[in-house]
């Protein structure tokens, strides 16, 4: 039997060798560059310093079979073609290795050639001079992941203290393998993340789309490097409000902050077009869009994208011009063609009425109705053609008042109120966009709100002209805030003005559309 210690209480020579093995194993765990190199070094250390004829490390495969990765020592041929399984129903699973895999308990065989547990391997052990062995579990973060085996040419080699030291070595190996597996998984995740980030950067560059994050209430701003490229800034310029203000100007920055505040308070998603200055002095248009979400600490985070939409805006201008030309053609057709046809029909209806009065009094009433119908059609044609030509002929406030009157005549009460807004506060283009947005808001209310009252208000604020359209209907479906064609049209028109638009609930019920167009403060 092995000596547990010398007579004077000092460790035996065998124990000293195992202490050295433990120390060198820990050093190998710290410096090995690969798993195979690590296990090979551990087996070599066990043989060189532990005095064993064989040391092996095997790791279990997902199918439950042990695959011997490395082995060292004069008896290394013992493991050639050696098959060990976890399953006790298999002959290969009934030996020491299989027991270790199933139970996580070490198996000590101090008389290998006489022990029934190793009967299937007696002949093989004789050929390689093996007389005792220890099979120890390798345990990582959970179940048994493998077996550390050491073999001696001497029977009775493994006493309690030797086994305890070998168990310490096995524990260190298991933990080391688990740590390396975690590091490898982390490295793989990091590499995949880097690949995806590079892919996203390439896509963002190609699409001219940058990503930003704003955190409230401290108003911290971060953006990706692609955002700098989108805004035509020098490479590597970090996101800051000062840099952004230099790009979009003071007015654009104020409009953006207002839009962010409205998004943060849940009134609307962030969606704004701003004119920006390129380094060569030309103008580009940036679309800033995103969503706000509450943070656990009570703050708010706004995440979104910045796009270069200059080309799209140019196309939109061209389409708007084409639409204006088409509207003019339609007006001309209404006035010149259909109007003339209706005028001729009115004359014929009048002649028929007079003739019916002389020759067929029974038809006189029908003839009068026909003449009246033609007269109504003529008036409608004139109203349509003149309305399309002269929506803003008498100014924005007058046009909005007429919109309210027509809406009331259609069956839903509509009011208009204006305060301190002069006709020269806004350009004709701004007035037209505001009027179209008001039209769209009223149309949406009539189509979807089931309301009894619509209110239109135009007001002067310290640094903006504000337009509101409110109703007392059923409110707006949140899905339509971004998906509805009417909503997208209003946001698009607001973006053309560099304005902020908020679409949400009006009081306890109904919908409110609010638009704020930046305006110079009045003097005096």
Q: How many CB atoms lie within 10 A of CB 246?
A: 15
pLDDT confidence band for 128 (50 / 70 / 90): very high
Name the band, by pLDDT with cuts 50, 70 and 90, for residue 391: low
pTM: 0.43
> 6 pLDDT exceeds 50?
no
Residue-wise pLDDT for 495-523, tens only, equals: 777 777 777 766 567 888 888 887 765 55
251 and 358 in a single domain? The answer is no
Q: Judge if 303 and 320 occupy the same domain.
A: no
User: Quick one: 282 and 295 in the same domain?
Assistant: yes
| 85 pLDDT above the threshold of 70 | yes
In-domain check, residue 197: no
CA distance 257 to 305: 15
| DSSP letter (8 states) at residue 451 | -
Give domain status of residue 191, yes or no.
no
pLDDT at 489: 73
Specify whether 452 is located in the same domain as 384.
Answer: no
Longest CA–CA span in the chain (Å) reads 150
Rounded CA-CA distance 503/510 in Å is 11
Q: What is the pLDDT averaged over residues 203-220? A: 82
State the average pLDDT for the chain.
Answer: 81
pLDDT of 475 over the 90 cut: no
Split at pLDDT 50, 70, 90, the class of 331 is: low
Beta strands in 125-216 (DSSP E): 132-139, 144-152, 209-216
130 domain residue, yes or no: yes
Confidence of residue 224 (pLDDT cuts 50, 70, 90): confident
Q: What percent of the chain stands above pLDDT 90? A: 18
Q: DSSP per residue over 233-271, as a string? A: PPTTPPP-HHHHHHHHHHHHHHHHHHHHHHHHTTS--EE
User: Residue 473, preceding bond cis, omega within 30 degrees?
Assistant: no
The count of domains in the chain is 4
Total Cβ atoms within 10 A of residue 57 = 25
Confidence grade of residue 324 (pLDDT, cut at 50, 70, 90): low
Residue 159 in any domain: the answer is yes
For residues 461 and 380, the model is more confident at: 461
Q: What is the pLDDT of residue 178?
A: 83
Residue 2, pLDDT score = 46
Q: What is the pLDDT of residues 433-453, one digit of tens each?
A: 888 889 888 988 888 888 999
Q: Check residue 360 and give its pLDDT.
A: 84
Residue 355: pLDDT over 90: no
72, two tokens: 């060292």
CATH of the domain at 275: 3.30.450.20
Same domain, 365 and 405: no
Q: Which residues contact 490 (CB under 8 A, 6 or more apart)?
A: 437, 440, 441, 501, 503, 513, 515
Whether 278 is in a domain gets the answer: yes
Res. 413 pLDDT band, cuts 50 70 90: very high
Residue 113: pLDDT above 90? yes
- pLDDT band (50, 70, 90) for residue 54: very high
* Contact in structure between 110 and 135 (CB atoms under 8 Å): no
Last residue of a domain, one of 389, 404, 419: 389
Residue 10, pLDDT > 60, answer no
Q: What integer pLDDT is reported at residue 9 of this predicted model?
A: 45
With 90 as the cut, is the pLDDT of residue 134 above it?
Answer: yes
476 CB-side CA count, 13 A: 26
Q: Helix, strand, or coil here: 399?
A: helix
CA angle 464, 466, 467 (to 5 degrees): 155
Is 201 a member of any domain? no
Residue span of the structural domain in which 395 resides = 391-524
Cα–Cα distance, 300 to 213 (Å, whole number): 10
Distance from C-alpha of 386 to C-alpha of 390, rounded to nearest angstrom: 6
Is residue 386 over pLDDT 60? no
Look up residue 498 and give its DSSP letter: T
Q: Do 333 and 400 share a domain, yes or no?
A: no
Average pLDDT over residues 169-185: 83
Instruction: Convert the pLDDT of each residue in 144-166 to its tens digit.
Output: 989 999 999 999 988 888 888 88
In a domain, 357, yes or no: yes
Q: What's the mean pLDDT in 223-236?
A: 83
Domain endpoint, select from 245, 278, 308: 308
Nearest CA to 157 out of 129, 178, 177 is that of 129
Give a yes or no: residue 2 inside a domain.
Answer: no
Tokens of 111: 């008389």
Q: Is 12 exposed, middle or buried (0-12, 13-18, 19+ CB in 10 A)?
A: middle
Using the 3D structure, point to which of 114, 149, 184 is the last residue of a domain: 184
């Amino acid at each position: 039997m092995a000596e547990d210690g010398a007579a004077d209480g000092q460790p035996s020579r065998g124990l000293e060798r195992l202490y050295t093995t433990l120390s060198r194993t820990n050093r190998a765990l710290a410096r090995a560059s690969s798993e195979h190199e690590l296990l090979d070094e551990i087996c070599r250390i066990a043989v060189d310093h532990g005095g064993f004829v064989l040391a092996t490390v095997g790791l279990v495969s997902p199918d439950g079979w042990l695959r011997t990765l490395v082995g060292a020592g004069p008896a290394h041929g013992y493991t050639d073609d050696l098959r060990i399984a976890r399953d006790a129903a298999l002959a290969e699973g009934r030996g020491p290795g299989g027991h270790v895999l199933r139970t996580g308990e070490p198996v000590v065989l101090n008389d290998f050639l006489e022990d029934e547990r190793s009967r299937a391997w007696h002949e093989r052990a004789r050929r390689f001079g093996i007389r005792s062995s220890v099979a120890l579990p390798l345990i990582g973060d959970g179940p048994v992941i493998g077996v550390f085996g050491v073999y001696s040419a001497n029977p009775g080699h493994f006493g309690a203290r030797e086994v305890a030291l070998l168990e310490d070595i096995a524990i260190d190996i298991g933990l080391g393998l688990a740590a390396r597996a975690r590091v490898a998984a982390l490295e793989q995740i990091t590499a995949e993340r880097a690949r995806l980030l590079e892919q996203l950067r390439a896509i963002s560059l190609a699409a001219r789309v940058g990503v930003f994050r704003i955190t409230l209430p401290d108003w911290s701003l971060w953006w990706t490097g692609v955002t700098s490229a989108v805004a035509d800034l020098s490479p590597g310029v970090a996101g800051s409000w000062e840099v952004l203000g230099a790009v979009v100007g003071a007015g654009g920055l104020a409009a953006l902050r207002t839009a962010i505040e409205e998004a943060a308070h849940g009134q609307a998603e962030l969606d704004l077009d701003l004119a920006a200055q390129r380094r060569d002095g030309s103008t580009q248009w940036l679309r800033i869009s995103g969503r706000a979400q509450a943070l656990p600490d009570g703050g708010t985070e706004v995440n979104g994208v910045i796009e270069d939409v200059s080309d799209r805006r140019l196309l939109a201008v061209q389409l708007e011009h084409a639409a204006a030309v088409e509207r003019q053609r339609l007006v001309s057709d209404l006035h010149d063609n259909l109007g003339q046809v209706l005028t001729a029909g009115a004359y014929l209806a009048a002649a028929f009425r007079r003739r019916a009065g002389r020759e067929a009094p029974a038809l006189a009433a029908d003839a009068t109705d026909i003449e009246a119908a033609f007269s109504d059609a003529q008036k409608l044609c004139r109203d349509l053609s003149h309305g399309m030509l002269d929506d803003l002929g008498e100014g924005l406030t007058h046009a909005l008042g007429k919109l309210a009157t027509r809406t009331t005549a259609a069956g839903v009460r509509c009011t208009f109120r204006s305060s301190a807004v002069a006709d020269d506060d806004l350009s004709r283009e701004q007035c037209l966009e505001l009027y179209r947005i008001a039209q769209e808001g009223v149309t949406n209310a009539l189509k979807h709100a089931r309301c009894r009252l619509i209110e239109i208000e135009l007001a002067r604020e310290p640094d903006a002209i504000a337009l509101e359209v409110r109703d007392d209907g059923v409110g707006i479906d949140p899905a339509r805030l971004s998906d509805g064609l009417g909503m997208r049209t209003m946001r698009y028109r607001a973006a053309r003005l560099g304005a902020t638009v908020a679409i949400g609930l009006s009081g306890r019920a109904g919908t409110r559309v609010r638009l704020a167009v930046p305006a110079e403060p009045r003097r005096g």
